[in-house]
Amino acid sequence: MIARSTVPIDWSDVRTWPAALTAAWRGSLRFRTMVLTLTLTAGAILVACLVMAVAIQSDLFQSRLNQVLADARRATTAAQASLDAAEVTDRIETQQLLTSVRGSIVRQSSTELMAVFRVPGQPISGLAPQPFTTGLTSEHVSAQLREAVEAGANGQWWQSVALPAAGGSTVPGIVVGQQLQLPGGAGAYELYLGYDLSGAAETLGFVQRTLWLAGLALIALIGAISWLVLRSITIPIGQAADTSARLAAGELQVRLPVRGEDELATLGRSFNAMADSIQGQIHKLAELSLVQQRFVSDVSHELRTPLTTIRLASEMINDQRAGFDPATGRAAELLHAQVERFELLLTDLLEISRYDAGSVQLEWELKSLTQLTEDVVASMHQLAEQHGSIVRVLSPGGHTPSRMDPRRVRRIVRNLIGNAIEHGEGRPIVVTIDSNREAVAVGVRDFGLGMQPEHVGHVFDRFWRADPSRKRSIGGTGLGLSIALGDAHLHGGTLGVWSEPGRGTHFVLTLPRGRGIVEPASPIPLEPDAPADDIAALLQSTAPIDVSTLVELNQPDVRGEER
């Protein structure tokens, strides 16, 4: 299965929500698409609902307003007709007429909210009745509306106001104002009718609630549909990712389930065809590799018998080279040297074939890495002197015996020191042995020319050389570092390399102290510290350098006991 990093969500702790949501946003295509779909859908529905609500509100208000104005105009026209047809002789009759007209207005206008005021500025008349109000007071009629009504005898004006309701509350309403002309010289009066709009407000509220509920239901429906659609798409994608990961891990027999004839089914068939092709190619390569391994092993074994005979003959000829002429004597030396190198190459090829076949067995012993390294350095002392190099051993740790195959570890250390001598340009070589609770390690540092960064990754390749034109001075086969890396892995350890042009090269071999420790932390850093350059300068000086001085320079915290 594909491993995904997830952030545990503790819903009781709000502080974990941002990290969990961020991880879900980055790691889940379904979550990201659902969030985008719902966000955009909610935004679109919100805008649509707002536009519809505003349009419905405006249309509803305008319809109610037109109805109110027509109702008020009809009631006012009927009242004015009654007033024009009446004849009054005194104030009492005028007051009775106005009362009668009030009842007619109530019947015609379908509202009981009314206020009647005499238009100010008229001559005082004995026939003018008293103003009156019914549920509508002068507080509900603004000064601007009264001025408009007083100025226009034949006009109709309206204004939105808050009308009184039961319980001391208010409701939205409209006040319509017009003038009435009373007969008999009573003068002009202002007529104001109040209309309650609470019914329209309730209708508008119902429509708005319906819109919002429908919008929420639509968002939920779109979310469910999106989830189902995404699930039908992301599940095959997840299966493809999981299958590809298993295929990359070496499970070559896994395949994608194919259903239907759509694009996903076509993708599944193409993926399975690719997996079949890869599996076939890998099987062919494995068979070819097995044939090559057998060929190398068989050839190496077959060559050992004639090579042994040739080596014996070359040794006999080389022993008698003093009696030959100079040219023949030199040829005998070259023949002996090349036969030895050929035998070494055959030995390495046999070892490589064992690694490829997985038939290498370790012979475990308890051995001190420090003692083993010192023995190797002592055996290579003459070779170092021939190249003008000084080899110094620093051993703040690694004295306690550890479980290893001494023959193979000795071969690794010999190979590393031999490479350092060959490529060290006659400069000092520092060999460091140290240990911690998990591992023991040995580092071999030279101060030669170093390697380019693109060459460092190829040092363990078989027969690889950074400079093919450069001649090997100690007769290497080109397989030593590859075999050394295999020996390190057999021990469960690591073999790393650091190199920089002008600063030299540093190899670090790290071996675990016991079983069950995989790739332990090395007590020796792969990239050397800056004081190592100072040590190199001291080693190149003419004054003799004591080993304890070097230990103090390199490991200032070293104690006298084994770590």
Tell me what the pLDDT averaged over the chain comes to. 79
What's the CA gap between 140 and 177, in Å, rounded?
12
Percent of the chain with pLDDT over 70: 83
Give φ, ψ of 11 to 5 degrees.
-65, -20
Instruction: Tokens 């193979």: give the residue.
Output: 408
What pLDDT, in 10s, does the model give residues 369-414?
999 999 999 988 888 888 888 889 998 888 888 888 888 898 899 8
| pLDDT for residue 503 is more than 60 | yes
Confidence of residue 2 (pLDDT cuts 50, 70, 90): very low
Buried b (16+ CB within 10 A) or exposed e, 327-347: eebeebeebbeebeebbebbe
What's the CA gap between 393 and 386, in Å, rounded?
19
Determine the average pLDDT of the residues in 259-277. 85
Residue 459 or 340, more confident: 459
Residue 153 or 10, more confident: 153
Confidence of residue 432 (pLDDT cuts 50, 70, 90): very high
Residue 464 or 326, more confident: 326
3-state secondary structure 250-313: CCCCCCCCCCCCCHHHHHHHHHHHHHHHHHHHHHHHHHHHHHHHHHHHHHHHHHHHHHHHHHHH
Q: In this predicted structure, what is the pLDDT of residue 77?
A: 86
Confidence of residue 545 (pLDDT cuts 50, 70, 90): very low
What's the CA gap between 554 and 531, in Å, rounded?
7
Q: In this predicted structure, what is the pLDDT of residue 465?
A: 63
Q: In this predicted structure, what is the pLDDT of residue 300?
A: 65
Q: Which of 422, 465, 474, 416 is CA-nearest to residue 445?
A: 416
What pLDDT, in 10s, does the model give residues 119-152?
887 777 667 777 888 888 888 888 888 888 888 7
Q: In this predicted structure, what is the pLDDT of residue 348?
A: 65
Residue 340 or 524, more confident: 524
CB 457 within 8 A of CB 481: no
Pairing assessment for the beta strands 157-164 and 504-512 based on DSSP bridges: unpaired
CB 202 within 8 A of CB 210: no
Residue 562 or 308, more confident: 308
Is the pTM higher than 0.95? The answer reads no
What is the C-alpha end-to-end distance of the chain, expressed in Å?
42
What's the CA gap between 415 and 344, in Å, rounded?
13
Q: In this predicted structure, what is the pLDDT of residue 553?
A: 34
Q: In this predicted structure, what is the pLDDT of residue 542?
A: 32
Q: In this predicted structure, what is the pLDDT of residue 431?
A: 92
CB 370 within 8 A of CB 399: yes
- Three-class SS of residue 18? helix
State the number of CA atoms in the 13 A half-sphere of 16 facing the CB: 8
What's the CA gap between 432 and 416, in Å, rounded?
12
Q: Which of 450, 441, 439 is CA-nearest to residue 501?
A: 450
CA 210 to chain centre: 42
Q: In this predicted structure, what is the pLDDT of residue 507?
A: 92
Angstrom distances, CA of residue 450 to CA of 205, 425, 525: 83, 10, 18
What's the CA gap between 191 and 522, in Å, rounded?
103
CB 354 within 8 A of CB 340: no
Confidence of residue 477 (pLDDT cuts 50, 70, 90): low
Q: In this predicted structure, what is the pLDDT of residue 126?
A: 67
Confidence of residue 445 (pLDDT cuts 50, 70, 90): very high
Determine the average pLDDT of the residues in 294-320. 75
Range of lowest pLDDT (44-48, 64-68, 341-345): 341-345
Confidence of residue 454 (pLDDT cuts 50, 70, 90): confident
Determine the average pLDDT of the residues in 507-523. 82
| pLDDT for residue 293 is more than 80 | no
Q: What sections of 424-540 are H helices per DSSP?
A: 453-456, 480-490, 531-540
Q: In this predicted structure, what is the pLDDT of residue 441?
A: 92
Pairing assessment for the beta strands 365-367 and 187-196 based on DSSP bridges: unpaired
Q: Which of 369, 376, 419 is CA-nearest to residue 398?
A: 369
Range of lowest pLDDT (200-214, 388-402, 496-510, 526-540): 526-540
Confidence of residue 555 (pLDDT cuts 50, 70, 90): very low
Q: In this predicted structure, what is the pLDDT of residue 356?
A: 62
What's the CA gap between 154 and 151, in Å, rounded?
9
The helix-helix angle for 17-27 and 29-85 (nearest 10°) equals 110
Structural domains in the chain plus CATH codes:
86-198 (3.30.450), 263-356 (1.10.287.130), 364-554 (3.30.565.10)
Amino acid in position 317:
I
What pLDDT, in 10s, does the model give residues 161-193?
888 777 777 888 889 999 888 887 778 888 899
What pLDDT, in 10s, does the model give residues 195-249?
888 877 788 888 888 888 988 898 888 888 888 888 888 888 888 888 888 888 8
Tokens of 1: 């299965």
